[in-house]
Structure 1
Amino acid sequence: MTDRPVRFTPEANADLTELFDYLAPRAGSTIALKYVRDIHGYCLGFALFPERGFAREDLRPGLRVVGFRRRASIVFQVKDEQVTIIRIFHHGRDVRISEESPTPPRRPPRRRGSSGA
């Protein structure tokens, strides 16, 4: 098995910066920096084993989502022997995805109790 290159989109890099900016005043800059570095290192681990998390082929070919310490979700794509980290979302943050975003919009939630008839 060979390593695949791991690339971060500008949006994913911005997400890491925003995550640090969000955590630093709440937990301290040392803890915030360690947490962001841990996420970055975890993402680099996709080079050896990228087929982690949940496949979301329904949204985009090769798209996957994996949780990190129950506090963040990493959206990435495995394509052409490369792993691209698309976005990194911290739980509890207000996330809005625009039409221009490289992350596809979510499907609307299903209504409970609707049988489709």
Structure 2
Amino acid sequence: MDQQTSTPDGLWLVSWFIANAPWIYAGCASAAFRFVYQWGVDHRPVRTAASEAFMCGAVVSVSAPVAAVVGFNETWAMVVGIAVGLAGPEVVRSAAVERLRAAGRAAAKVLFKGDDDAGH
């Protein structure tokens, strides 16, 4: 192995941070905006505003690999991640639960199609 191209053992975290710096900055900015909005405008407690802001920042920071799997390029992945992060955990959670319930009802209709009149 070539020693000049390999990363020293202690510097892998630094190289990872440099490679992912735009996403980390976007996550921090989204968290800051969400915290200011919830604490200043909605007058929520500091602990609630801080925890939800942290979740929004985490959503933005991890949206790069998820968007790459879905097929977005990096620019659109950033836009989608920030939009989801600023929407907040309540909006994302309620949308996900609604989609999962709809998918569960559709699967139940397919799986148990003839069970209603089988025993009667």
TM-score (norm 1): 0.37
Structure number, greater radius of gyration: 2
Q: Which has the higher strand share?
A: 1
